[in-house]
Structure 1
Amino acid sequence: MTDTDQSVIEVEELRRSYSGGFEAVSGISFSVARGEIFALLGTNGAGKTSTVELLEGLAEPTDGRVRIFGLDPYRDRARVRPRTGVMLQEGGFPSDLSVAETVRMWAGVTSRPRPAAEVLELVGLTARSSVRVKQLSGGERRRLDLALALLGRPEVLFLDEPTTGMDPEGRRDTWDLVRALRAQGTTVLLTTHYLEEAEELADRLAILHEGELVLSGTPAEVTATRPSRIRFTLPDGTGPEQLPLSLRAAAEGQRVEIRTDRLQTALAELLRWAEQEGVELAGLDARSASLEEAFLEIAQNRRTGTLGRTPEQDDRTGSDDTMAGTR
């Protein structure tokens, strides 16, 4: 999937500065393969929108290189734009037009548009085709935004916060549609604040912070950079200091949390100890890190200057909560 010859989107040392010297994008590089869903994540102000605008050809980079289909999306916009679809955070459609009228209007300025009925069926708006835009719910407006992005049968689809305002059913339906588009060969670049969405959809992702790309890979690779967690409550009379020395544990009263890069080994050792000591571990919960946990820890560690540190390094420098049961 990452073979350069198959890359539809290529970004090399991309920079974007604004007046006053503020650099919103600071030399980032990544590529997206044909038929891949790539999520670009980051906190507010991380540089996502500035990056996507460069990919869409809406502005010229301050420095670096962007290529879509091997073309410059800014200088070759007339050749690139008909092959891409863009779903903005807000479409800004005329509120007095109906859904069907809005689609037909947009089709008039779109190369090789799908039939209006087809695209409305794709996004689940067929039954609302005669309703005025101003009467749509927030989630329905997002579906209309998506319909217009799909009108031209895009080879590359840019989705900016595609499911904001949708109910759970609408969000799942949209995910299914995006997966179906990928199966048909569409390349998707997604920005979202719903980390579950990125975890569900993305083949690969990149996390931006303050204009820099700090981590990239598959969702599994990104979550593997953070420790797994084991949580439980000890009974009265048994303190965290009685845990085996090899189990690193943070405690608040009787509630214990173990962070480990060896989840299966640590859990097995904990259960053996509990059985031997006759200790009941109430509320026992063991799980790998989620993308949300990894994202939040990356943002926090970036602020405190500990990005990339291992749990063992954090332990030696005392960056975690008060520890019990360790050497």
Structure 2
Amino acid sequence: MAIEFAPRSLPLERRLQTLAVLQWVYSFLGLALTCIFLFFALLFTRFWIISVVYGIWWFIDWDTPSKGGRRSKYLQSHVMWRYLRDYFPIKLVKTVDLDPRQNYLMGFHPHGVLVAGGFTNFCTEATGFPELFPGITPYLMLLPLWFRAPFFRDYAMSGGLIPSDKESAGYILKKYKGGQAIVIAVGGAAESLYAQPGTFNVLLKNRKGFIRMAMEHGVSLVPMYSFGENDLFDQVDNPKGSLLRKVQDKLQKAMGVALPLFFARGVFQYSFGLIPYRRPVHTVVGKPIKVPKNSTPSNEEVDKLHQLYMEKLSKLFEAHKTQYNVPADRHLTFL
């Protein structure tokens, strides 16, 4: 196979975009492990005091991720995220206003491989979330596992990430009377195994925990669909029943982390690598679904609201799909 190299004459702007994406991919795939290694490696050097002091701080600060985290305005508004946004590009699309006097539970679909739209729209200010939805503070949920990694936990919190558990979401929804939005990639890590270009699979049929949470707190549900999210990477074919898929499913159930075998382009060439393709992503935020507070919803009540949510998500997809180059005969597939 002939390798297609990037031309030397690329503008500086595009090179900076690629650099921003490279650090973002690394932060997802390798930064946590690097931080863990660094923490223990420092103990065997003359800089051991850094890990010891951090360890004490870590113990004192242990519960902070589940209590709203500790976001950094400086990091969220950093110029590197604008280069990340423009690489694809990624755009946040508002269809209605959100009332800052209320709290929201926003469902992000699909997960994709690395949740590019979710991260860029809700962990950075690059796509203009504060201007589009003034008075609303978003919190993107991340697997609790990653908040057990020294140093990395602080980096994750600086972007407004919180653990994806009921306690962390409940703390925010109970403490604040309005202006808070919990963002959940509902399909989770398992959905990334379905992320193939040109597909519109949503792992939702049996995902009802977020529905029950919305009812218990009486917060509106906001469906979102991120057009182009599944087109950023190719993935080794892994149909249900294949040996690869069986191994991936077992690993996902055992560790909680999916391991899709994905690939796209490289930094200096376009033929192979782990850098995503330059393909547009449009994250469309739908109309809130009002949810009356019900501290003890029955299974039937949860099922009814869950069905309504799927219908609203499907209508959102149908209303915008042709605008984002989805063939008219393609529809969402609920798994």
TM-score after normalising by structure 1: 0.31
- Structure with larger Rg: 1
- Give the structure with the higher percent helix: 2
Q: RCO greater where, 1 or 2, for CA within 8 Å and sep 6 or more? A: 2
- Give the structure with the higher percent strand: 1
